A and B are shown apart, each in its own frame.
Chain A
C-alpha cells in the first residue's frame, strides 16, 4: 500500500507503531532522529512521513521543513504532545498535512494515514487532470488555429468574390476575387469604405434594409446585375447574400458575387454550337424546302417550253412568273439560312415597339382576312420610345404572327371563330413583353419540345422552316427570352421578353 517513514526518538513507540502499521499492510521505515530520517527519506521517498515534533537534535519542525523543501508533495503528519497546540499550528504553517496528539490510539494514526493517502490520491488525480487539460487546451489551440487558417484560406482562395461588413455596413472582409472584380485593394477598403461606395444600389439596398431591426429578411436570392469597377468597366455579376447573425443579433452582412463574363461567353458559345448542330439537322429539312421550290422551277420551265413551242404567250407568261416566284422563294430560304447561322449584334436605336407591332399586323391583315381569322391588337399605350433593335422586333413578330395564323389555317377541327391576339406590355427591369396568342390547333408536348430543334414546315410555298429558329436566335442576341405554352386542341401562346436601353443614354 503506502510507503511510510516513521521518525520518533522513542524506540518502544516505534516498535508498537510499526507493528500496527504493518498489520494494516503498510511498508514502514523507521528512524530515531531527524537526520537519519532525512537520509531514509532521500533513499526511499516514502509518500507519507510521520514525525515526532519533540526530538533531541533536529526538531520535527526542522524535519518537516527539509522534507517539504525537497518533496513539497510529501504528506507529513506530525506527532505532538498533549496541549502543544502552538507547535501543531506552526507545523501546519510549514506544510504539515495533519497532526496526532500523544498519547493516541492506533486507529487515530490509521485514520490520519488514510486521510493522507486520500490527499495523495486527490493530488495525483488533479495533476493528471491538469496535464490532461493542458494537453487538451494545446490540442484545441492547434485545431482552432488550423480552422482559422482554413477559413482564411477559404475566403482568400474562393472563386466567388466575398465582401462582408459589420453592423454599420463598413467592410471587414474583402477577398482577392473581390479585389480583382472591383479593382480596389483590400487594404484600401477594409474598415475604410462602406458597401454603398463600391457596390450597385440594388445590392446595398437589400442589406441596409435587412439590417433594420424590424426586417426579418435574412437572405437575398441569386440576382443578376452589373457592377461598375474602379476603372469604370461594367461587369455582369450574379450576387447573393445574407445577414450574419449571432444568436438573435444582427452582426453584419456578407455578399457573394460571381463574375458572369466567362459564363456568358460560354453560354454564347453553347448557343452557337447548338445552332451549328441544328443546322446539320436542318439540312434534311432544307432539302424538303428546296424540293418544293425545284418543283416550281420545273413546272415553270415546262410551261415556258410549251408556251414557246405552241406559241402560246399566256402559257409562256404564266411559266415565267412561276419561275420568278420560285427564285424569290429560293432567295428567302437562303437569306433565312444565312441569318440563322451568322452571329449578329443587334442594332439598338430609338424606336416605338407599338408602332412596329402595328406595322406587322397591317402586313398580316390580308392573310388573316382571307382565312377568316380575327387579328386583334392590344398594345399597352404606356410604352413609348425605347432603345431596341427594330429589325429584331419586326422579324420576330412577323414569324410569330405568321405561325399563329397558320395554326388557325391548319386547324382540322370544324370551322370556328379563329382569333389571333397580339399584345404588348412592359415589365420590370426595362423589359418589353410581346405576346402572340392563337386559338388554333395547338401542339402536343412532344411537338412543343421539338419546336426549336427540328426543321419542319407545314407551310407549302411560304415557310422556309427556319422561321422559329431564326426568331429564337434574334431574341437571344437581343438578350431576351421566349416562352411557348400550348395545348392540343386549345391553342398556343408565345411570350417574348426583350430588354431595352433607355432612349438616348449610351450604356
Chain B
C-alpha cells in the first residue's frame, strides 16, 4: 500500500511538487538533493521507487542510475527518470558510458520529461508501484 518513494532533484521546487504528488498517490516520500545523498538514503531506507533527476551537482543522475542498475543489492529497485533532458539524449549518454567500458545497463522502466503534469506523474507512479 503505502510504499516508500525517494525523490531526487537539486531543485527544491521540483522536490516539493514531486513529493506532493507522491503523497496524493498514497505513498510516503523521502527526499535527496543530489546523487550522493540519494545513494546514502537508498542504502539506509531501501525505497521501492526512486524518482530520479539527471542534472544535479555532486554526482549526477546518470552516474547514479548506472550504480543502481549494476549493484546487486540495488538493481531491483524501480527507477523513474524525470528530467529536462530528453530520453534520447539520456540513452545516448548511457551508451557512451557503456562503450567506454561500463558495460550495458537496462533502460529505465519509466522516463518522463519535464515539465510534467501532476496527473501524468501520478499515473506513472501508479504504474510503477501501484
Residues of chain A at the chain B interface (Cβ within 8 Å): 288, 291-292, 294-300, 302-303, 306, 315, 318, 322, 325-326, 406, 409-410, 412, 458, 460-461
Contacts and interface: CB of A to CB of B under 8 A. Distances in A.
Contacts of A412: 58-60, 63
A302 to B, nearest CB: 4
Given A295-B114, A306-B20, A410 B14 contact: no
Contacts of A303: 16-17, 20
Interface residues of B, number: 25
Contact of B116 (A295, A300, A318, A406): A295
B101 interface: no
Contact of B58 (A302, A410, A461): A410
A460 B56 CA distance: 7
Centre residue among B20, B21, B24, B116 by max chain A CB count within 10 A = B20
A302 B17 contact: yes
A420 to B, nearest CB: 15
Interface string B35-72: 00000000000000000000111111001000000000
B11 interface: yes
Q: Is the interface of B mostly helix, strand, loop or mixed?
A: loop
Interface in B9-37: 9-14, 16-18, 20-21, 24
9 closest A-B pairs by CB: A299-B17, A295-B115, A409-B57, A302-B118, A295-B114, A294-B115, A461-B11, A296-B13, A322-B13
A278 B11 CA distance: 28
Given A299-B14, A302-B17, 17 more contacts: A291-B114, A292-B84, A295-B114, A296-B17, A297-B115, A299-B17, A299-B18, A299-B115, A302-B20, A315-B20, A322-B16, A325-B13, A326-B13, A412-B60, A458-B55, A460-B9, A461-B13
Contact of A298 (B57, B58, B63, B117): B117
Interface in B68-124: 84, 114-118
8 contacts: A294-B114, A295-B17, A295-B114, A296-B17, A306-B20, A306-B24, A315-B20, A410-B57
B11 A292 contact: yes
A302 B58 CA distance: 29
A120 B121 CA distance: 121
B129 to A, nearest CB: 20
Contacts of A318: 16
A299 B55 contact: no
Contacts of B24: 306
A299 B18 CA distance: 8
Given A294-B115, A295-B114, A460-B10, A409 B16 contact: no
A236 B55 CA distance: 47
A44 to B, nearest CB: 108
Chain A CB count within 10 A is highest, among B13, B114, B118, for: B13
Contacts of B63: 412
Nearest to A298: B115
B106 to A, nearest CB: 22
A326 B118 CA distance: 17
Contacts of A297: 115
Nearest to B9: A460
Nearest to A290: B115
B62 to A, nearest CB: 10
Contact of B17 (A300, A458, A460): A300
B55 A460 contact: yes
Contact of B11 (A296, A406, A410): A296
Nearest to B58: A409
